[in-house]
Structure 1
Amino acid sequence: MGIDVTVERVIPLPCEQVAEYAMDWRHDAEWTQGIRTAELTREADTGGFGVGAEVTRTAYFLGKRIDYVLRVAAYEPPELLDMVSVAGPMPMHVTYTFEHLQDGGTRARIRVRGDASGLYRLAGPVMGRRVRSSLIKDLRDLERQVSRRRGG
């Protein structure tokens, strides 16, 4: 069963600020639902975070602990961060995009695609709704965190 969920939110803050915060794996647990820890477990070929880097996340989804590794497939700050899973319970592809708006705000978008298998296939009808709900909360929390850091 395939999952393909996209959510977006207009955040009334500059694109560079929103993207810089969201693309920094060290903030994952602060704004992404269910993530308890995130660790850079492989640096990009050029060092640090970028294409080829891998982030290992520990999360909880549908009451189960999930450990998975996302590899950066594309990294074009402040517009795009695209990651694919290389280890975990199911194949998934996560894309973050950030668009400059004329009023100085940001259109933030998250797309998650995946192939539910094993136990997750049984939860298939629920998964799309749960993923959408989680992503909506992620973007709400992203706005809160960036606003808080900005002092507003």
Structure 2
Amino acid sequence: MDVEASRVIAVAPERVAAYAMDWRNDARWTQGIRNAELTTEAPGGGFGVGAEVTRTAYFLGRRIDYVLRVVTHEPPSMLEMTSVAGPFPMHVTYTFAAHPQGTLATIRVRGDASGFYRVAGPVMAPLVRRNLRKDLRDLAGQIG
């Protein structure tokens, strides 16, 4: 699965990225996430490359607990995370680019489903895309 969604948000990239890259806001704008916790700080402390965020989410009616490790942290343009624990491998990339109307925000999710989620494979990509679009809509609403 490789799914991407974008939206123009009428706010400067620095503001959009600051909100979206703060794990404490995950449950406010990311579909299905009920809880997010910084469980491992970056080597220099706080949030950055090497930090790990544990998320509890619900997808297709099932609870998913997973851990994402930050592999790229370049505010205000990019945050890239990869799963180190969870039901399937996942790679999430957030990008924020200047746009004449504010910020072009993009979320890309790549992953290989296993178990129950492999069986649900044919519906996974459309559902993930729909959720990403809702995420971006909610992100715009939170900071707009």
| Band of TM-score, shorter chain | over 0.9
Query: Hey, what's the Cα distance between the residues in 1 that align with 2:141 and 2:125?
Result: 24
Q: Deviations over 1:76-113 (max 9, x none)?
A: 0000000000000000000000001234x000000000
Give runs of aligned pairs for residues 2-151 of structure 1, distance below 5 A: 3-103=1-101, 105-147=102-144
Which runs of 4 or more aligned residues in structure 1 lie more than 4 Å from their structure 2 counterparts after TM superposition?
none
Whole-angstrom CA distance in 2 between matches of 1:44 and 1:27: 18
Counterparts of 1:63 and 1:107, CA distance in 2: 31
Q: CA RMSD in A?
A: 0.6
Question: Normalised by the size of structure 1, how large is the TM-score?
Answer: 0.94
| SS, match of residue 46 in structure 2 | coil
Structure 2 unaligned regions, length at least 5: none
Percent identical across equivalent pairs? 69
SS at match of 1:107: strand
* CA distance, structure 2, for counterparts of residue 11 and residue 102 of structure 1: 10
Distance 1:39 1:26 in 2: 7
Shift of residue 47, structure 1, vs aligned partner? 0.4
d(CA) in 1 for partners of 2:80, 2:95: 8
Secondary structure of the 2:48 match is coil
User: Normalization by structure 2: what TM-score?
Assistant: 0.99
Count of paired positions: 144
TM superposition shift of 1:119: 1.0
Structure 2: how far apart are the matches of 1:142 and 1:109? 11
